[in-house]
Structure 1
Amino acid sequence: MVAEARSRISVIGTGYLGATHAACMAELGFEVIGLDVDAAKVAELSAGRVPFYEPGLEEVLTRNLASGRLRFTTDYDEAARFADVHFICVGTPQRDDSGAADLTYVKAAVEELGPRLTRPAVVVGKSTVPVGTASVLAARLRALAPAGDAVELGWSPEFLREGFGVTDTLHPNRIVIGTDSERVEAAMREVSAKQIADGVPFLVTDLQTAELVKISANAFLATKISFINAMAEVSEAAGADVMRLAEALSYDDRIGGKFLGPGLGFGGGCLPKDIRAFMARADELGVEPALSFLREVDAINQRRRARTVDIARGLIGGGFAGRTVGVLGAAFKPNSDDIRDSPALDVASTIASLGATVTVYDPEALERARREHPELNYAHSMLEAVRDAEVVLLLTEWAEFRDADPDELAKVVAEPKIVDGRNVLDPERWRARGWTYRALGRP
């Protein structure tokens, strides 16, 4: 009996989402071609080098390049000829003139791919787009494609956490596909067969519901983070301890402890821009009041940064001019080199603008930070960053910083004063070693 041929896959866009998706689809045994208009990025990936930091991805990439299942190209014609299923994984950043999502790259992918689809094909969007986008793109794709109605589009949102992208792709907690087409559903069931066999929930919805899943999830998580940070504001005013408050809340299984960590707040390329895009789309749909609470979610998040600067200013005597400050962390979260909307760099840059000499250290994000924030100084170790510092700020919760020895740091700082912007240090331990310790939401 001859085994049925498996679909061949193209992945359009090889940024964080696309490169991870392409490598992991190959890991699952599919033949995959990754496409990007950036020739330098294609060259890097083709050489087995990941142009960003993501644990475990380089090993998956090199293994599948060597197997022959994975390759990369800048040629849309090659991708269209090769693949039966095309995944759109391009970015949807915030527009410069508003909070809305910029769909330039998504539309460009459809405009380039569509005219080259001369035979039946399935196109699946994974990019985060405003609700209503997919139906418009589906009509445009049919109009452009020589194969016409034999080209069908579905939408399957991604749920990757930076730092866990490989695991989240190979072992997702759910798979969602928005479609009314049996062929699109069958294609997604084929590429997801291993996960489905492992018991991963597979949900089929309409296009609009699928588009809402990812952005709704991000809005909920952002709200939960800002809720506990709002409680941190109240705790500071009342003399309470927000960490004990969060612990007490976490035992209620209706609430849980995930994303209930008070501190400097969220950043990165997803949560901030997604909640702003969600608000903008609600306004376009005439239901702006339904998401008006997200404006306060965003505002609370921004206030955490200003409050961190204020705490550091108080520890240093009321002004930063001529002072020396050490900052631990540049990435928006640990296990990533992503500095998009990084709270850590926002705080560091603000303090530098107030006259301080600020030196930053991060295990992975230094080069990206240096390009975006040349006004800051950069060190290649934690001790170098805090040397002669009159106050230290821990702003990204890398394990290296969580496990720091207060005695070792005390040997090199000018003043043993620390602002724990992520509430990850043991206050009693640091105070017992002679440090003045402050954190958001704690006495």
Structure 2
Amino acid sequence: MALKITVIGTGYLGATHAAAMAELGFEVIGLDVVPEKIETLRRGEVPMYEPGLDELLRKHVAGIEGATGRLRFTMDWAEAADFGDVHFVCVNTPQKHGEYACDMSYVDAAMESLAKHLTKPALVVGKSTVPVGSAERIAARLAELAPAGGEVELAWNPEFLREGFAVNDTLHPDRIVVGVRSERAEKILREVYATPVAEGSPFIVTDFPTAELVKTSANSFLATKISFINAMAEVCEAAGGDVVKLAEALGHDDRIGKKFLRAGIGFGGGCLPKDIRAFMARAGELGADQALTFLREVDSINMRRRGHMVELAREAVGGGSFLGKRVAVLGAAFKPDSDDVRDSPALNVAGQIHLQGGQVTVYDPKGMANARRLFPTLGYADTAEDAVRGADVVLHLTEWQEFRDLDPEALGAVVGRRVLLDGRNALDPERWRAAGWTYRAMGRPAA
């Protein structure tokens, strides 16, 4: 008999996972405790911007004309528990307020709410990014609370989604990691992921702690690589070097690779910053804090880049003060192909300049609504051209393709001064300089 799947939590991770499981041929129920989210998903609409996800939802959500009907949504824990053989828990693990540590309250609440209704054999699979040691504790709690007792097992299956590529990353993962304690749990997860495994995705079986460590280790490595090239940008500025050429030369070494070597205003979003901080906090609890002290410097370099961009902008408008100066910010999302503005370096820079008296106008292709909610006092424009109108300086802070395709001449006709600071090293300096712009980027010679 075919496995039935539930997905607990239908945010960014959960909505994508639920739609992908339906695409792989499973009957799926998605559960959430937020009524608005459930209503949106039942209409086949996505509560966030993720390329390709809305099409995938509409292909499978029950009640939509022409859909397979394999995917439906509920707020009823008993219904989900009765329906599912495999329960994927995909809820958020934010940073604790005022601490580095991870807030496990959403995961714990989801596990306990589900456990009380598990009256038949089931596999509960954690996908959330959690501190190492959490699975051990949760497994004991499930066994204690579930009416089916020992017939309810836990597995840990970390997610490796990149925002902007989440659908592809779920259907064609570069690896599948499962932390299990029994052959039964492994067999069930091999069945769930049979299609991507048959297509060549590696299937890596580990214990609980290793599975929990994979995601935080991967994010720590990527954060370190970004902060490394940003540290090199600081050295390049001091020495008169060009960090873009430096990164190009380093990237040809296949031990290093080209990815994540673009210097700029650093990383943000809902994963990297909070994951490396939670990792440091957990290492301290385990008595292994010295192993991760380098991550403090990684975090520090990253945050320093934002302040450096503010200083470059201050220099660009005359060096003294932002008062009475118009500053255009191109970008609000923490990365392109996403509307996620959590810990966005672009909005952080915009907010700092605004607090220092600058008249800031922001434009982003997809992140405007979320940015307005988070920073309601900033100015917002409907187009890049409107954002830069009359500006004393233009800051390029999220590397959308739309911004790479901008016409420097057309933009030059509406700005106050043709001064561009490229905080992502993603635009063509020659093209902008040829159109009479003063182009400046982090870690590169001024001209």
Do they superpose with TM above 0.5? yes
Residue aligned with 1:352, SS: helix
Aligned to 2:317: 316
Aligned to 1:421: 423
* CA RMSD across the alignment: 0.5
Q: Aligned pair 1:187/2:183, yes or no?
A: no
Residue aligned with 1:225, SS: helix
Aligned to 1:73: 74
Q: Aligned pair 1:278/2:279, yes or no?
A: yes
Q: Which amino acid aligns with 1:398?
A: W
Residue aligned with 1:264, SS: coil
Residue aligned with 2:2, SS: coil
Aligned to 1:439: 441
The separation in 2 between residues aligned to 1:431 and 1:259, in whole angstroms, is 26
Q: Deviations over 1:65-91 (max 9, x none)?
A: 121100000110110010000000000
Q: Which amino acid aligns with 1:246?
A: A
Aligned to 2:368: 366
Aligned to 2:145: 144
Q: Aligned pair 1:26/2:28, yes or no?
A: no
The separation in 2 between residues aligned to 1:271 and 1:64, in whole angstroms, is 32
The separation in 2 between residues aligned to 1:194 and 1:368, in whole angstroms, is 36
What is the Cα deviation at residue 344 of structure 1? 0.2
The separation in 2 between residues aligned to 1:425 and 1:113, in whole angstroms, is 49
Aligned to 1:115: 116
Residue aligned with 2:116, SS: helix
The separation in 2 between residues aligned to 1:182 and 1:47, in whole angstroms, is 39
What is the Cα deviation at residue 32 of structure 1? 0.2
Q: Which amino acid aligns with 2:75?
A: T
Q: Deviations over 1:275-314 (max 9, x none)?
A: 0000000000001010000000000000100111111111
Aligned to 2:389: 387
Q: Aligned pair 1:269/2:280, yes or no?
A: no
What is the Cα deviation at residue 430 of structure 1? 1.1
The separation in 1 between residues aligned to 2:357 and 2:148, in whole angstroms, is 62
Aligned to 2:86: 85
The separation in 2 between residues aligned to 1:205 and 1:8, in whole angstroms, is 24
The separation in 2 between residues aligned to 1:346 and 1:307, in whole angstroms, is 12
The separation in 2 between residues aligned to 1:187 and 1:419, in whole angstroms, is 52
The separation in 1 between residues aligned to 2:138 and 2:181, in whole angstroms, is 15
The separation in 2 between residues aligned to 1:210 and 1:391, in whole angstroms, is 47
Q: Which amino acid aligns with 1:424?
A: A
The separation in 2 between residues aligned to 1:183 and 1:40, in whole angstroms, is 37
What is the Cα deviation at residue 431 of structure 1? 1.2
The separation in 1 between residues aligned to 2:301 and 2:353, in whole angstroms, is 20
Which of 322, 329, 343 is the equivalent residue of 2:331? 329
Aligned to 1:43: 39
Q: Deviations over 1:193-241 (max 9, x none)?
A: 0011111100000000000000000000000000000000000000100
The within-5 A match list for 1:54-65 is 54-65=50-61
Q: Once superposed, which parts of structure 1, at least 4 consecutive aligned residues long, lie more than 6 Å away?
A: none
The separation in 1 between residues aligned to 2:76 and 2:274, in whole angstroms, is 30
The separation in 1 between residues aligned to 2:103 and 2:202, in whole angstroms, is 31
* Stretch of structure 1 that moved more, 60-69 or 224-233: 60-69
Residue aligned with 1:6, SS: coil
Aligned to 1:106: 107
Aligned to 1:199: 200
Aligned to 1:124: 125
Structure 1 spans left out of the alignment, 5+ residues? none
Give the TM-score of the pair, scaled to structure 2.
0.98
Q: Which amino acid aligns with 2:368?
A: L
The separation in 2 between residues aligned to 1:312 and 1:437, in whole angstroms, is 12
The separation in 2 between residues aligned to 1:35 and 1:29, in whole angstroms, is 19
Give the TM-score of the pair, scaled to structure 1.
0.99
The separation in 2 between residues aligned to 1:381 and 1:210, in whole angstroms, is 44
Which of 407, 414, 423 is the equivalent residue of 1:405? 407
* Stretch of structure 1 that moved more, 426-435 or 146-155: 426-435
The separation in 2 between residues aligned to 1:393 and 1:136, in whole angstroms, is 47
Aligned to 2:298: 297
What is the Cα deviation at residue 428 of structure 1? 1.8
The separation in 2 between residues aligned to 1:105 and 1:182, in whole angstroms, is 29
Aligned to 1:155: 156
What is the Cα deviation at residue 97 of structure 1? 2.6
Q: Which amino acid aligns with 2:72?
A: R
Q: Which amino acid aligns with 1:23?
A: A
Identity of aligned residues (%): 66
What is the Cα deviation at residue 155 of structure 1? 0.1
Q: Deviations over 1:95-137 (max 9, x none)?
A: 0031100000100011101110001000000000000000100
Q: Aligned pair 1:212/2:208, yes or no?
A: no
What is the Cα deviation at residue 403 of structure 1? 1.5
Q: Aligned pair 1:396/2:398, yes or no?
A: yes
Residue aligned with 2:350, SS: helix
The separation in 2 between residues aligned to 1:398 and 1:279, in whole angstroms, is 32
What is the Cα deviation at residue 182 of structure 1? 1.1
Residue aligned with 1:116, SS: coil
Which of 3, 11, 15 is the equivalent residue of 1:15? 11
The separation in 1 between residues aligned to 2:351 and 2:116, in whole angstroms, is 46
What is the Cα deviation at residue 175 of structure 1? 0.3
Residue aligned with 2:360, SS: strand
The separation in 2 between residues aligned to 1:198 and 1:49, in whole angstroms, is 29
Q: Which amino acid aligns with 2:60?
A: N
